[in-house]
Amino acid sequence: MGLTERRAIKAFQENKYPKLKAEMDAAAGFDVPVVVDWDTIMAVSEGYSEQYEENLPKVFFRPLIEAFKGICIDDLGKEALKEGLKKVVIRGESTYTNPSFEYGILTLAYPVTSWADSWTTKRDEIQTVLEKGL
């Protein structure tokens, strides 16, 4: 990963991520512990840093926020999410993998440069895996 990717990630972290994190917390109803592995995101998308601003929300954050909204439609869902979700781990991956939810940890590992326009599919997958595990 080069300077271009590091600059693009830094800009995203400072300008976009705080708002997305606030939306995530509001949708879940609590301060969701999130670990974003920015290094893997940069490593698997070297040469595509111009896509970070548009793709990162579509690939990781919008589907997650919308899945939380779908789960938290009632008090039962809100309580289950708050009690069962211990952490969200987000990382870049060179190939698409389904979300996983084990021991209270939701892991999202996707390529940053593909599947960006399939955020509704990702939302459904995240919501399904969470609902099965909560």
Q: What is the full per-residue pLDDT of the chain (134 aa) written as tens digits?
A: 689 989 999 999 999 999 999 999 999 999 999 999 999 998 888 788 888 899 999 999 999 999 999 999 999 999 999 999 999 999 999 888 899 999 999 999 988 877 778 889 999 999 999 999 99
Give the strands of the sheet with 100-102, arranged side by side.
34-37, 87-92, 105-110, 100-102
Its pTM stands at 0.94
Work out how many domains the chain is built from and give that number: 1
Alpha-carbon span 105 to 97, nearest angstrom: 15
- Output b/e per residue, 70-103; b: 16+ Cβ within 10 A: bbbeeeebbebbeeebeebebbbbeeeeebebee
**Domain extent for 63:** 3-133
